[in-house]
Chain A
Amino acid sequence: MKSNFDNTGILIKKPVAWLSADSTEPQIAISSRIRLARNIANLKFPITSSDNERDYILEIISGACDKVHLFNEKLSFNMSQLSQIERKFLLERHLVSREFCSGNKGSSLFIDSDESFGLMINEEDHLRMQIFSPGIKFKALWENISQKESLLNNEIPFAFDSKLGFLTSCPTNIGTGIRVSAMLSLPALTLSTQINQIIYATGKLGMTVRGLYGEGSEALGYIYQLSNQSTLGENEEEIIGRVGSTVNRMIQHELDARTLLIQNRRDFLSDFIGRSYAIMRHSYLITEKEALNALSAIRMGLDLNMFDSLDMEKVNALFVMVQDAHLQKCLRKELKPPELDAKRAELIRKFLIN
């Protein structure tokens, strides 16, 4: 196992696992994720546990992970020992939740070095197991994470009730404890102001739509996270099926909105994408939000074959690098706006020229 502090340094040299370019399809469905919430039977949840109790929970889970060889190459992060920037860096890579970033004692993240699988220990529950993939691959993800969950369950007894299923700190997660989510890029639905209607309709279907960084975050870069709302009363396959069909519908809505924009408002759409590129190419001060929104527009431009000299991989890499913590990690210093915005603009200009 690698030590705590070098690990964010290892990650920064690599592209994120959830954002990879497949040029054969429009880049609407960015990635899929399945998360399972579990707690150790008969022990208090992290919210009522003392520091030492949380350390003990970490010790149990860590020991079990090693015993069953849960990870191919395990990287570990002790959240209470990381700086604020390092925690935000992990959030920007979608490896941890916002809540986990508060860095409570005993809160640790274990990930496979390829970032496709991870455990948050002592988050809201003792154990939050997550698996990621670019594109939509729910079925394969479920098979994989279910296998890993069974492996751990050979060593750790989980809190379970025959009626309520797996017991979690928040009653919204009981039963299967599963959250199936897709990260979707929906610029055309946002531009044509249909997005609120769509969010309302998905709510009726028992789905939740959240922003880029999950719970409580805004839709930066026209990116939304769609996930199941309820976890009890249906089995995992049914939930996966329902999320999958809603995702397909959302993708179709976005494609329709793009077609309509091209047919009826072609100049508006081209202007929007072209201006976004111009901002990226010629800015000297740019905020994270402005950069992410512009990059998302450029991604749509790439889907519509508007750029010859750009490729999706490059834009995706930039999409990750322009985020506040990544930028500061990359520059190896703590910065505040306007200096941070100036450095971001400089990085983007250099990146787009080369």
Chain B
Amino acid sequence: MICNICNKNQATIHIQEVVNGAKKSLHICQICADAKGISVTGLNGINLSELFKTVHNTIAAPQIAQKTPDSNITTQPEIIVCSSCLWDSEKLKKTGRLGCPQCYKAFSGILGYSIPSLHRGDFHVGKKPITSIQNRNDAMVDIFRLQTKLDNLVQNESYEEAAIIRDKINTLKSTIV
């Protein structure tokens, strides 16, 4: 697969984002990844949505399909990254674990093969959850995101901003108790 940014090199980093059920893919080579400061283990701080937007706006889909790999470029194993939790296919292979519920969509290509062999079917037929508490989940997700932000702020010693975030967290928590 060719890099979506330079359209020349073999892509070795593959990012998938799923928004409202729609899947977006982004394939990047190591050189462009380095240029944009993207590393598989250090995607923290990169605005993925923005990245998707800028890259996708400049690429016409048929153009990607027509490109053929350059034989001079050394191919590296393809790495897929979950845009939600930044877990990647290498870690999945190493641990056999996924990083978050969204990983099931990001790694569907890999899991599509293994799930039927692990189970006696590929469709859930058992108990289903109660789904009337979506609002509460939204608040939990917001708190979780703010918690991550708070961790980073504390790490960078930005205590004033951290205090504001902590207040926000406490306010949100009071809504779900």
- Chain A interface (Cβ within 8 Å of chain B)? 39-45, 47-48, 50, 52-53, 56, 60, 63, 124, 146, 149-150, 153-167, 169-172, 174-176, 178, 206, 229-236
Contact = CB atoms under 8 A, between A and B. Distances in A.
Contacts of B53: none
A157 B134 CA distance: 7
A56 B84 CA distance: 18
Interface stretch (B30-38, B60-68, B72-80, B93-101): B93-101
Contacts of A149: 127
B95 A47 contact: yes
A45 B84 CA distance: 11
A31 B129 CA distance: 28
A233 B136 contact: no
A45 B137 contact: no
Contacts of A43: 100-101, 140-141, 144
Chain A at the B interface: SS class: loop
B126 A157 contact: no
A50 B150 CA distance: 11
Interface residues of B, number: 43
A160 B123 contact: no
B90 interface: no
Interface string B19-63: 000000000000000000000000000000000000000000000
B164 interface: no
A38 B128 CA distance: 12
Contacts of B143: 56
Contacts of A165: 124, 126
B6 interface: no
B144 A53 contact: yes
B130 A150 contact: yes
B17 to A, nearest CB: 15
A175 B147 contact: no
Given A50-B151, A233-B119, A42 B133 contact: no
